[in-house]
Amino acid sequence: MSVTAPSTRGHRWPLVRPWLGIAARLGLAAVWLVAGASKVSDLAASGRAVNAYQVMPYDVATVIGAALPFVELALGVLLLLGLATRLVAGVSAALLVVFIAGIASAWARGLAIDCGCFGSGGQLAAGQAPSYLPEILRDLGFLVLAGFLLIWPRTPVSVDGWVSGEPVVEDEDE
């Protein structure tokens, strides 16, 4: 007869998951806040950066470019507060998929542009090489954070938790 210690593997996840969730929530909030803040002071440049992708008419691109920093700031603030976290994670995931597709499209079509993800953006100077692969990998990492929050949106220190009045614990059906 052999005696083995009980497994602690399944017992750690309920303790670790909320803290991974808060790290994902605050990390993604920081990304959106920095991205939005870096563009909000020059909305025309943000519009030109969107137009550089050459996927929509100039007027549409400039409107989207001007609105994008405010959307990013709103997403960042909502994530920072932990308000409507699953919804915001879903919008974040959708936006990141659009960004990844846009960068991949620019790469596939041989455009030489800066993504404009954290300000500036637009056409690169002659001879300057774009960095599409690192940009796509970075955005895939952000997409993982959004995906985590889609699956496990409840985190400590959040308005969502305060409104529900329930402590954040791991549910079997969550």
Name the amino acid, one letter, at 115: C
Query: Where exactly are the structural domains of the chain?
Result: 17-157
CA distances from 139 to 32, 60, 63, 168 (A): 12, 24, 23, 28
- CA–CA dist 98, 151 (Å, integer): 20
CA distances from 16 to 23, 57, 67 (A): 11, 47, 37
pLDDT over threshold 60, residue 167? no
Average confidence score pLDDT of the chain? 90
pLDDT over threshold 70, residue 79? yes
Predicted TM-score of the model (pTM): 0.86
- Condensed to tens digits (0 to 9), the pLDDT of residues 84-116 reads 999 999 999 999 999 999 999 999 999 999 999
Average pLDDT over residues 64-71: 97
